[in-house]
Amino acid sequence: MRLKDEQIRRLAEKVYNDLQTDGLISVRGERAAAIEGIHSAIRQNFDAEQALERDAERLLDETIAAMGRGAADIDRRRMLKMIKDKLARERKIVL
């Protein structure tokens, strides 16, 4: 999923506000610094997910090329999902 930076910032603010309202966090420092930390964590997660997507596409293309004609019956969408799930488990990324 691709979100604009402003959307991620609003999401980070929402997460911060909800956690604080529910009494799950208590921040001693500045609110802006806490929100920036949440924003950074969300951005890193999205970047890791995009890298995983690129790697899965590359692996699928390599696999199909190696199979040659035998790849004609492969459901590309299903195979891509299987590769993504495997890479996500290996990299400990929650999709």
Vertex 52: Cα angle to 55 and 93 (nearest 5):
150
Per-residue H/E/C for 72-95: HHCCHHHHHHHHHHHHHHHHCCCC
Quote the pLDDT of residue 67: 87
Q: Name the residue with tokens 């195979």.
A: 79
Higher per-residue pLDDT: 71 or 18:
18
Domain that holds residue 66: 5-91
> Which pLDDT value is given to residue 68?
84
Compute the distance between CA of residue 82 and CA of residue 5 in angstroms, rounded to an integer.
29
14 contact partners, CB below 8 Å, separation of at least 6: none
Q: According to the model, what pLDDT value does residue 10 have? A: 97
Confidence of residue 1 (pLDDT cuts 50, 70, 90): low
> Based on the structure, what is the number of domains in the chain?
1
* pTM for this predicted structure: 0.77
Mean pLDDT: which of 28-32, 52-56, 75-79 is highest?
Answer: 52-56
